[in-house]
Structure 1
Amino acid sequence: MSDNIFNANAQNIQQLVEASKSRPVVMNFHSAQVPECAEITNALQAQAQIYPTHLVLANVDCDTQMELAQYFRIQGLPTVLVLSNGQPVDGFAGPQPAIAVETMLAKHLPAEWQLKLEQALPLLDAGEFDQAVLLLREALAAEQNGATLLSLAQALLGLKKTEEAETLLALVKLEDQDSRYTGLMSQLSLLKESADTPEIRNLQQQLAAEPDNHSLIVELGKALHQAGRNEEALAQLFDVLRMRLDAADGDMRKTFLDIVNALGSADPVASSYRRKFYGLLY
């Protein structure tokens, strides 16, 4: 049995009531004599396994724990009560489909984005930014708010993906622009300064004098990618590829695809330019 699933009895009921002060405790009053209880129990146990740190399930076998059933004034089975701060705050009596059980519990459990954020924060602290980004993209897709924007921006800055991080930070509302936001803006500024390398400036000056030099465009694209300026790199390369797919004897196409593949399928910049490139082919 999971660490958050218990068989309630007279000996542990006070501990369970105390536990409801920190997270919901779901009291499941059931009996083997009532077949409809089994579906409710299965649905509750499934939810308890999904939310092991956010939910406690206390199964009360009314065949052996009649005093508990009487104390909570249970009139029929199955009956489910949700305890919070020691008091019943929700529940139902009678048979219910699994979806109704999930809907009722959802009011007392973290949203999907909160779960993803909780999973990602230890990864951010450990510097495992690649893994954190995957979770935080899902969190942001489910809910755009200060927490999801700032956390994803932090992970992207850790990967030196300054362009996307800057886009996200621009979406942070004034009320969410706290000390964390200020720190990330400073980190962004420093990364942008370090990304403006002498090599890039030199290539840009050469390209200004020779705007049709495809080899220079390829070299600049590679340099921008190395500096984390991926959207700028892909834009430069794509502007030529849309006119000539064989530019620089195919080297421009290869460099473009190398950058797109390096960014990965979850990267929105890579996804956008991948679609644009396929549009040239078909």
Structure 2
Amino acid sequence: MSQDTPYIFDATAADFDQSVIQNSFHKPVLVDFWAEWCAPCKALMPLLKHVAESYQGELLLAKVDCEAEQDIVARFGIRSLPTVVLFKDGQPVDGFAGAQPESAIRAMLEPHVQAPPPAEADPFEQAQALFAEGQFAQAEAILQTLLTTDNSNAGALILYARCLAERGELNEAQTVLDAVKSDEHKASLAGAKAQLTFLRQAANLPDAADLKSRLAQNADDDEATYQLAVQQLARQQYDAALDALLKLFVRNRGYEGGLPHKTLLQVFDLLGNDHPLVTTYRRKLFAALY
């Protein structure tokens, strides 16, 4: 019996009673009657394999090559190909002839096959989702648990540092980031360091309300424009900050040795290349540069 996976195998006349009939007392067995010359059979087979694998062992798939196994064909009166028969407790209980869509196959199986166990959620992905929703304390709690079992997980360390930064533990966050040695997460590491930079800068700047008051009196106040953008970055008001930095760059690209351009690039690192704001403002910055 040659095996594709533990759940998928070829069945022959010599082992059919064991591999299909006896096995079906433990787990339902789907039998695919096929032949090399049958094009619909070849189209259906990958779909049956995909469905069987999705049940993670709760369903077995036996393949019968009808050209080689005429005895089995005669035994079950198979008249057309492909024919698929579901065996349970030693008996055929359901089936179909001809190619079928995945939805129809699953609907046929549903009353007979136990659903696969739900996949456990990846804790790092959970933490990422919570962080994106602004639930920093919950994300931090998951990351702490994750890091107790794997304290070299660079992605988790970087996100943990960002959680610390969000609650003002800037020095602790810096220590965590300094411990990340992996080259695999360069962009997210650069982004986390940029966030720390903005939070540190914002702590030493005038309040946002004071800066807005200055800009109300003089919209071209470069220092107030830049400092308010940093305050907005520290508060994750990225759209407003990017808009202000780009306008400052267009108005005075040499401000403080090219600080608007440098800061725009830091924000791009912080948000990541896939962020829609980064796509938009990279294009705008390119247009302003050239």
The two structures have a TM-score, normalised by structure 2, of: 0.50
Aligned to 2:45: 44
Which SS does the other structure have where 1:40 is aligned? helix
Which of 235, 243, 264 is 1:235 aligned to? 243
Which SS does the other structure have where 1:88 is aligned? strand
The two structures have a TM-score, normalised by structure 1, of: 0.51
Aligned to 1:98: none
Corresponding position: 1:10 with 2:17: yes
Question: How far does residue 50 in structure 1 lie from its aligned partner after superposition?
Answer: 8.8
C-alpha change, 1:78 and 1:269, in structure 2 (3 Å) is: same
C-alpha change, 1:156 and 1:45, in structure 2 (3 Å) is: same
Which SS does the other structure have where 1:262 is aligned? helix
Which of 87, 91, 94 is 1:88 aligned to? 94
Corresponding position: 1:30 with 2:31: no
User: Which of structures 1 and 2 has the bigger CA Rg?
Assistant: 2
Number of aligned residue pairs: give it. Answer: 203
C-alpha change, 1:238 and 1:82, in structure 2 (3 Å) is: farther
Q: Is the 8 A contact 2:232 2:241 kept in 1?
A: yes
For residues 278 and 217 of structure 1, the distance between their equivalents in structure 2, rounded to whole angstroms, comes to 21
Which of 195, 199, 204 is 2:208 aligned to? 204
Point out where structure 1 has 5 or more consecutive residues left out of the alignment.
94-100, 110-117, 131-151, 161-190
For residues 16 and 273 of structure 1, the distance between their equivalents in structure 2, rounded to whole angstroms, comes to 60
Which residue identity lines up with residue 5 of structure 2 in the other structure? S
Which of 49, 58, 63 is 1:59 aligned to? 63
Which SS does the other structure have where 1:35 is aligned? coil
Point out where structure 2 has 5 or more consecutive residues left out of the alignment.
107-117, 137-163, 169-198
Counterpart mapping for 1:1-282 below 5 A: 1-8=4-11, 9-14=16-21, 15-16=23-24, 19=27, 27-31=31-35, 34-36=36-38, 40-41=41-42, 44-45=45-46, 48=49, 52-54=53-55, 57-62=61-66, 63-64=68-69, 66-67=71-72, 70-71=75-76, 73-80=77-84, 87-88=93-94, 91-93=96-98, 104-105=101-102, 108=105, 122-123=121-122, 125-126=123-124, 129=127, 154=130, 156-157=132-133, 199=203, 202-211=206-215, 212-281=220-289
**264-273 vs 240-249, which deviates more?**
240-249
Kindly, what percent of the aligned residue pairs are identical? Answer: 20
Deviations 1:187-238 (A, max 9, x none): xxxx9x969x884994413312432333343344344434433334323323
Deviations 1:129-154 (A, max 9, x none): 56xxxxxxxxxxxxxxxxxxxxx5x3
Q: Is the 8 A contact 2:20 2:87 kept in 1?
A: no
C-alpha change, 1:253 and 1:26, in structure 2 (3 Å) is: farther
For residues 83 and 239 of structure 1, the distance between their equivalents in structure 2, rounded to whole angstroms, comes to 70
Question: How far does residue 251 in structure 1 lie from its aligned partner after superposition?
Answer: 0.7
For residues 273 and 7 of structure 1, the distance between their equivalents in structure 2, rounded to whole angstroms, comes to 57
Q: Is the 8 A contact 1:4 1:53 kept in 2?
A: no
Coordinate RMSD, CA, aligned: 4.6
Deviations 1:7-26 (A, max 9, x none): 34322335458645xxxx75
